[in-house]
Amino acid sequence: AEITGVTNSDFIKTALETRLGENEHISLFKFIKSLDKATKELKMNENLPHRYVNVGFSGGEKKRNEILQMKLLEPKFAILDEIDSGLDVDSVKTVAKNVVEYKKENPNTSILIITHLPKLLEYLKPDFVHILKDGKIQKTGDINLALEIEKDGYTGINAMIGNE
């Protein structure tokens, strides 16, 4: 969603401080340092944190901004819905690299990634791949399941699970 009047940096800092409690504040220097580091790692325009949340952002900027928020807010559970949408090949690699690095640095965080493109999963190396249909898991496997879908399409998977 677009939030006119609230910059990305103010949004993230406020969210961090809300989690800490009303009597605690984050060091501005530490916050700016971590924000700048994450912005560079995501190869984002350095003025993006000072723009209003999602206002006038391209699709790729919105996706990078989601990963920026994840990196700084450090959730225990993250749902990343089609983070490859609207990204060129280089941007997909950058976003995937940042998600992989985040997971390594935060091994107790669970990440659910929703995608229709197996190529993203090749970069992310997920622990599990689930095929959902009508809100139910129809099949579970590893990255090979996604590669199988890329090769044979969903028709092959449907035949395998008894759905024609």
Q: What is the mean pLDDT of the chain?
A: 90
Segments in the chain forming alpha helices (H): 8-20, 28-41, 59-73, 89-105, 118-124, 143-161
CA angle, corner 80, sides to 79 and 84, nearest 5? 170
> For 103-135, how does the pLDDT look when each residue is reduced to its tens digit (9 = 90+)?
999 999 999 999 888 889 889 999 999 988 888
For every residue of 21-69, DSSP letters joined together read -TT----HHHHHHHHHHHHHHTT--TTGGGSEETTT--HHHHHHHHHHH
**Pairwise CA distance, residues 20 & 26, whole Å:** 9
- pLDDT tens digits for 41-64? 999 998 999 999 999 998 889 999
Q: What is the identity of the amino acid at 128? A: F
pLDDT of residue 65: 93
